[in-house]
Structure 1
C-alpha cells in the first residue's frame, strides 16, 4: 500500500504513465477529481477552478489578490456564492491531497503532490523529464496537434507549471533530491517506465511492511 506522486516536464507523459501505473497496481488515479473537490470546497464552479489553474498566478490574479480581500468579496457576493483566491487554492490543495492520501493506493498527477506529501511515510515521488523535441512529438502524437501547436502548448504549460509552484513558495521542482526516482522519457518507453515504477513501488511496499 502506497501513495505515488507523478511530477513532470509538460509533455513527458505524466498522465499516460499515471494511467498505466494505476492499472498495473490496481490503484486509483487522482487528477481532475481534485478540481471538482476544490470547486466544491470553495463553492465555485469547476470552470472557475480550471481557469484559475490555467491563469496560474498571472497579472490579473495578482492584481485582484493585491487589491481585493476575500472578506470584502464575500460581503459583496455573499458567502454562499463562494470565492477562490491564491491562498484559498493552495490551502484547499493541501487539505484535499492530504485527505485523499490517507486512503492509500493512490496515484496523484501534478499539483504539488511531491511537496504536500513530502513527509508522508508511504509516498513514492516520481519526476518525468524528456528532451523538448520529444515532449513536443509526444503532444503531436497523443493529442493530434501540429508541430507548431504542440510547441506552443509545451512552452506555455511549462511556464504555468512554474507559476503554480511559486504559489507553494517553491522553485526547485526539478531538483532530483525531491524524488525517489527521475525517469528520462527520452530514453524509456511508457511500458518500460511503468514496469520500472511497478517493481520499485512493490519493493518499497515490502520494505515498509517489514
Structure 2
C-alpha cells in the first residue's frame, strides 16, 4: 500500500514541528498542527479559542483547571472527550481530501487502521532539547528541566488518556528519528524519501 498521509509525534524541543512543516513543504502536501483547530471547532460545540485553551491545559485530572473542566455529563463524557471526538472526526475528514502531514493530535492512533499512513516519531537527547528550547523561546520563570519534563508528561498523559497506548513507544511507529544525532535536515530528507518511495513512482 502506498503512503499518502504522514503523522508525526515528537518530544518537546526535538524540532518535530519544524521538521514536519519543512517536509510537508518539500512534498507539497498540506501541513496541520494548530491549523487543525478550526476544523475541530466545526465538529464540536466549542469555539477555537476555548479549544486552544484546553490544548495548553494539563492532561485530564492533573490540575485544578483540568479537574474543573473534566466533570462528566449525563452521558459520562468530559469536555476533553468531546473535543477528542471532534478531533478524530476532523482528522478523518482530512483523509477524504487528499495527502497531508499531521503533527501530534494522536494522529498515529486515530489512523491506526489505515495502511496508507507513514507514522513518524521524532526524539532527541535531553540536553540538546533543553539548549534548543532556550535558543528558541528563551528563559522563563520555570526552570528549563521542569519545562521539558512537564511538557512531555502532559503529552504522554493526554495520549494515554485518549488512546490507551503509551506515548513514544517505537512499536507504534514506522520510523523513529533522533534529531540531535541525525540533524533536522537529515530527518526531513529521510521522511521525504520514505514518503516518496512509498507513495510516488518507484
TM-score, length-scaled by structure 2: 0.86
Q: Counterpart in 2 of 1:131?
A: 125
What RMSD over aligned residues (CA atoms) do the two structures have, in Å?
A: 2.5
Runs of 4+ in 1 over 6 A off after TM superposition: none
Aligned equivalents of 1:116 and 1:52: distance in 2? 19
DSSP-derived class of the 1:126 partner: strand
Instruction: Determine the structure 2 residue equivalent to 1:78.
Output: none
SS at match of 2:102: strand
Higher Rg: 1
Task: Name the SS of the counterpart of 2:105 in structure 1.
Answer: coil
Q: Which runs of 5 or more residues in structure 2 are unaligned?
A: none
| 1:113-156 per-position Cα deviation (integer Å, ceiling 9, x unaligned) | 01001122211000011111111111112223469654333122
1:198 and 2:192 matched: yes
Q: CA deviation at 1:9?
A: 1.2
User: CA separation in 2, counterparts of 1:162 and 1:57?
Assistant: 11
Shift of 1:64: 4.7
Contact kept? 2:29, 2:99, Cα under 8 Å:
yes
List aligned pairs for 1:34-183, cutoff 5 A.
Answer: 34-55=36-57, 56-59=59-62, 60=64, 61-62=66-67, 64-66=69-71, 68-69=72-73, 85-145=79-139, 149-183=143-177
In 1, Cα distance between equivalents of 2:20 and 2:36: 15
Query: Normalising to structure 1: TM-score of the pair?
Result: 0.83
Query: Deviations along 1:48-93, whole A, 9 cap, x unmatched?
Result: 1122122221344345534x5167xxxxxxxxxxxx7022112111
Q: Please list every run of 5 or more consecutive structure 1 residues that lacks an aligned counterpart in the other structure.
A: 72-83
SS in 2 for 1:186: helix
Structure with more helix by fraction: 1
Q: SS of 2:193's equivalent?
A: helix
Does structure 1 retain, via aligned residues, the 8 Å contact 2:160–2:167?
A: no
